[in-house]
Structure 1
Amino acid sequence: MQQSQNFQALGLSEAICSAVRDMGYETPSDIQSQTIPFLLSGRDVIGQAQTGTGKTAAFAIPLLESIDPELVAPQAVVLCPTRELAVQVEKEIYKLSKYQKGIYSLAIYGGESIDKQIRALKKGVHVIVGTPGRMIDHLHRGTLKLDHVRMIVLDEADEMLNMGFREDIEHILQRMPEEKQTVFFSATMPRPIMELTKRYQQNPEIIKIARKELTVERIEQYYCEVKEPLKPQLIARFIQAYGYELSVIFCNMKRTADEVADSLNRLGIRAEVIHGDLSQAQRDKVMRQFRNSNCQVLVATDVAARGIDVENVEAVFNYDLPLDEEYYVHRIGRTGRAGRHGVAINLVSSRKDQYRLRDIERYTKGKINKIDPPTKQDILAFHLKKLQAEIENLQAAQPHDEIKTALHALYEAGISAEEVAMVLLQKQLGHLLKEEQEVSFRPEKTSFSSNGYNQDLTRKKRKSRNRDNGPMTRLFLSVGKKDRVRPNDIVGAIAGETGIPGKSIGEIELLDNFSFVEVPQDVAQMVVREMQNRQIKGKRVNIEVSEGSKKKRRPRIKQ
């Protein structure tokens, strides 16, 4: 299907077209132009698209066109994997419904008072955007009825399955009317999603955006070699040398995110952190500060960052390379939005990082070029250029008479213009050049070739790495069947707390009083540390490495 030249050509109402214009959109993106006509005609749709492609409007626009304002009951449901994404989607729907009188939407999610949500539901809403767990809470309480739902959208369906929500999703789908429109949006289409589509969709139209369109061409991608302890200092260097006003840093662990934010603040970079340990009120406060440019840097974990939608993010730093290639595309999609230019910089400090970088490049079919650490001279050059522009602006304005008088007084005291300039430059730029000597960021022992990768791996080893997740470690958990724990509960808890992708979690063995779960060997200690004393199904968990646990298996869940 050819991309429409404008939104009016899609047959949309004037109310929607006006809202779209107010939001600054001129022409529909590929996913929008291909999806909207099918959804308007009532077809079920499977859409494969990444963050940043405009997929929210692709389903939100036809969803709003189908709402009957006179029927004050939920008529459309959007399921999201995280509360941040649910809030983001609901805000987009709210903006798009600006000129449609009498249409109300509501985001429901954990971490916010359920009583507040119940009161809002009683007032009457037409569109519900929520996380699976909180949706089921309302269904069981009887505070949410789905009798009049005409459309359900599963946004980032693959992520919901990775987090262990399959049973919850099916429970919600089964509570809906048989006659409804079902829409799946997902970055990938693994077998579990295709199984759901066969069961719950009728002759769906499959719309797939080619991968070359999924990786945003406006984003320049680089990697930089650095010693692990010097990563915060290197990021500060990049920000000082290139003047990035808003940046996002991604870490794989919550503890790392906290430490990075602390380090950057000590280096004079205003940083805030967002991850799963923060309350919803705390997350909202952090996001307000970031959107309002009250902090320069947002340090985030993957799960917590699902709802980050700030248009003027200039740079993304991968402090830790993601454990899953799909996460990489989600991460870098936080920059280069709304036609702007963006930069993604990957910090590489080990052989393992080299391997991951190569996998990412192969997955995205894009080139990640090497960039050298900025020097003190690079920082000085940037700020001198900035200072030069300020001086030129000042010359265009009329200086205050008091300033002229003070300058003449200095001259009369025998102080030259050069000495005055030297003192002012020291005050202005001295803090950027604190180190007595240049820092060596490059790791001592690396075998990076000119194109960024070690070429020693044989083809056989590369194939082996792609076939499974490598060595696995077996962990003991102090919860079991008697605690009403399911395998998906364990997957969801580990993925949600640690940020590792659910599909990398291996075999789960449930016994009456305890369980065993396999995780990749290289993240096992992190999982033990992050999960210790966390709760699964309301039960506090003790977790430790099981004796004789190291195995090498294909990941699977044993029911």
Structure 2
Amino acid sequence: MATTTANPSALNGMNKASNGQLRGPPFGPHAAIQQANPPLSKTSFPQSSGGIKFGADWKNSLELPPKDTRVRTTDVTSTKGNEFEDYCLKRELLMGIFEMGWEKPSPIQEESIPIALSGRDILARAKNGTGKSGAYLIPLLEKIDLKKDHIQAMVLVPTRELALQMSQITIQLSKHLGGVKVMATTGGTNLRDDILRLDETVHVVIATPGRILDLMRKGVAKVNQAQMMVMDEADKLLSQDFVVLVEDIISFFPKERQILLYSATFPMSVQLFMSKQLQKPYEINLMEELTLKGITQYYAYVTERQKVHCLNTLFSRLQINQSIIFCNSTQRVELLAKKITQLGYSCFYIHAKMMQEYRNRVFHDFRNGLCRNLVCTDLFTRGIDIQAVNVVINFDFPRSAETYLHRIGRSGRFGHLGLAINLISSEDRYNLKTIEDQLVTDIKPIPSSIDKSLYVAEFHSLHTHTHHQEEEEEEERPEIQEVGLV
């Protein structure tokens, strides 16, 4: 049941804004935000050849991003020691990989890339933020044949924002390949533009289910010669919302096709789909535990009326690089975003009822570091990878363990550190215990002071993190009334 506001005055009394961009004052002295992503265009992305001449020193010609010196957890460092060169990839693709800042394969990439290159179907479970995108995009791009002018691969994702993000990553990875044509197609954009774009050469389509199925039924998006289909966030794609659409989409593919499924959670719907659609899939399971090792989880026990005050306290005490704040309804997202702005903090908001052009703008401006805080619904829980986010706050506690897992996975990306803070009212207490048990994780009462080495890169070293964890294990769990922040 959605959380109701016991004290409407805490959130109400503000003018309505529709574009999701509510600006507070400029960032403070600790506002270093990574700005690595170019602006996103609407639906299609032209490519150009890098024109690189290879020699023995080809790596010296690469435009590498600044080296990431942050300590990483074993979620991404516990590898077999493979290198990307070990997979016999095209040198032009290797150039794109290294220029993304990807130095060595993560565990899911090590397990996945050689199997995907061999042509087998894959069913892969891995934590959010451990490199699943690279695990399927690298073999997908390696297999693209530029001599063929038809759609050769499709990546299916559940949200428009994730489609745009995946398009950007695909373009960046393939920029030296000499003309791979990548297209994003999602609902909420001009259908005519997509039809015109598909009249030209497209090799890779990144799509949400409803829009691409419409284009397929119209005979515009032809996949009868496509060899690979990827389903990212497969559990969501195979939920009741999408599963009929997905099965219709697959019916347009040739019988001899390769299907790759990636997700952090695999409910029964995935198992049923696997037995029906996949051919002897190679199963990968890197989920000995569900939550990322680098995320420290706390709860603050508050009344509904205290939530905004508690949030204000967190903003003043935490060193936030960027934060994502989750609410359980679109109305509460807008009200809270305006309240945060009134308190003097920079804030954007995003939810599914906004116009698509506003959603696109908010999403890509937040990725580029133009705002520190983003308030959103669960629209933003799936696969969204913003490296600068180091704090996630559940203003409204989620209703399920699966939603909780995806929400907190927006911080601590790719083995880095992050903080997840949950504002818990009396009606959430049972849910908190249930989610702890289901995820086999520990959500601790919030202390009066949070060690910056747990979530701020420049304060962290491997020694301090290990030492702090040992100290915490020895401490007794304080009573719920002793929460110091509210």
What is residue 51 of structure 1 aligned with on the other side?
A: 128
2:370 corresponds to 1:270: no
Q: Which protein is bigger by CA-based radius of gyration?
A: 1
2:431 corresponds to 1:356: yes
2:177 corresponds to 1:92: no
Distance 1:211 1:298 in 2: 31
2:410 corresponds to 1:334: yes
User: Does the CA-based 8 Å contact 2:129-2:415 persist in structure 1?
Assistant: no
Distance 1:359 1:3 in 2: 35
Distance 2:374 2:165 in 1: 17
The letter of the residue matching 1:149 is: A
Instruction: Please point out which of 320, 324, 327 is paired with 1:244.
Output: 320
What is residue 179 of structure 2 aligned with on the other side?
A: 102
TM-score normalised to structure 2 length:
0.74
Distance 2:323 2:169 in 1: 22
Note closer, same or farther for the CA distance 1:307–1:156 as it changes in structure 2 (3 Å cut).
closer
Instruction: Please point out which of 206, 210, 230 is paired with 1:129.
Output: 206
2:142 corresponds to 1:71: no
Deviation per residue, 1:416-469 (Å, 9 max, x gap): xxxxxxxxxxxxxxxxxxxxxxxxxxxxxxxxx84659xxxxxxxxxxxxxxxx
Deviation per residue, 1:446-493 (Å, 9 max, x gap): xxx84659xxxxxxxxxxxxxxxxxxxxxxxxxxxxxxxxxxxxxxxx
Compare 1-10 and 231-240 and name the one that shifted more: 1-10
2:248 corresponds to 1:171: yes
Deviation per residue, 1:309-346 (Å, 9 max, x gap): 21111200011111110111211111122443211101
Note closer, same or farther for the CA distance 1:373–1:113 as it changes in structure 2 (3 Å cut).
farther
What is residue 416 of structure 1 aligned with on the other side?
A: none
What is residue 484 of structure 1 aligned with on the other side?
A: none
TM-score normalised to structure 1 length:
0.65
User: Does the CA-based 8 Å contact 1:237-1:374 persist in structure 2?
Assistant: no
Distance 2:479 2:180 in 1: 54
Distance 2:384 2:238 in 1: 21
Deviation per residue, 1:174-233 (Å, 9 max, x gap): 111011111111222222221211121111100011242x42111111111122122122
Coordinate RMSD, CA, aligned: 2.1
Distance 1:277 1:210 in 2: 34
User: Does the CA-based 8 Å contact 1:152-1:181 persist in structure 2?
Assistant: yes
2:445 corresponds to 1:370: yes
Distance 1:233 1:371 in 2: 15
Distance 2:397 2:92 in 1: 43
Q: 1:353 offset after TM fit, Å?
A: 1.3
Where in structure 2 are the equivalents of 1:439-458 lying within 5 Å? 450=478
Where in structure 2 are the equivalents of 1:382-421 lying within 5 Å? none
Distance 2:242 2:295 in 1: 32
User: Does the CA-based 8 Å contact 1:275-1:305 persist in structure 2?
Assistant: no
Instruction: Please point out which of 297, 305, 329 is paired with 1:221.
Output: 297
Compare 281-290 and 144-153 and name the one that shifted more: 281-290
The letter of the residue matching 1:356 is: N
User: Does the CA-based 8 Å contact 1:3-1:34 persist in structure 2?
Assistant: no
Q: 1:307 offset after TM fit, Å?
A: 5.4
The letter of the residue matching 1:59 is: Y
Q: 1:374 offset after TM fit, Å?
A: 6.8
The letter of the residue matching 1:34 is: E
The letter of the residue matching 1:174 is: S
Distance 2:210 2:320 in 1: 38
Distance 1:353 1:17 in 2: 48
Instruction: Please point out which of 371, 377, 385 is paired with 1:295.
Output: 371
Distance 2:436 2:257 in 1: 40
| SS of residue matched to 1:303 | helix
The letter of the residue matching 2:336 is: V
2:306 corresponds to 1:230: yes
Q: 1:245 offset after TM fit, Å?
A: 3.2
| SS of residue matched to 2:382 | helix
Distance 1:307 1:274 in 2: 15
What is residue 25 of structure 1 aligned with on the other side?
A: 102
Distance 2:279 2:391 in 1: 42
2:392 corresponds to 1:324: no
User: Does the CA-based 8 Å contact 1:219-1:341 persist in structure 2?
Assistant: yes
The letter of the residue matching 2:87 is: L
Q: 1:36 offset after TM fit, Å?
A: 0.7
Note closer, same or farther for the CA distance 1:225–1:144 as it changes in structure 2 (3 Å cut).
same
Distance 1:451 1:53 in 2: 34
Deviation per residue, 1:341-366 (Å, 9 max, x gap): 2111011111x311111122222222
Deviation per residue, 1:517-555 (Å, 9 max, x gap): xxxxxxxxxxxxxxxxxxxxxxxxxxxxxxxxxxxxxxx
Deviation per residue, 1:3-59 (Å, 9 max, x gap): 343211233222222111111111211111001111011111001123211111111
User: Does the CA-based 8 Å contact 1:80-1:154 persist in structure 2?
Assistant: yes
The letter of the residue matching 2:431 is: R
Distance 1:211 1:86 in 2: 28
Distance 1:326 1:307 in 2: 13
Note closer, same or farther for the CA distance 1:3–1:348 as it changes in structure 2 (3 Å cut).
same
Which one has a larger percent helix, Structure 1 or Structure 2? 1
Sequence identity of aligned pairs in percent?
Answer: 38
User: Does the CA-based 8 Å contact 2:157-2:233 persist in structure 1?
Assistant: yes
Distance 1:292 1:178 in 2: 41
Distance 2:449 2:339 in 1: 18
What is residue 36 of structure 1 aligned with on the other side?
A: 113
User: Does the CA-based 8 Å contact 1:107-1:128 persist in structure 2?
Assistant: yes
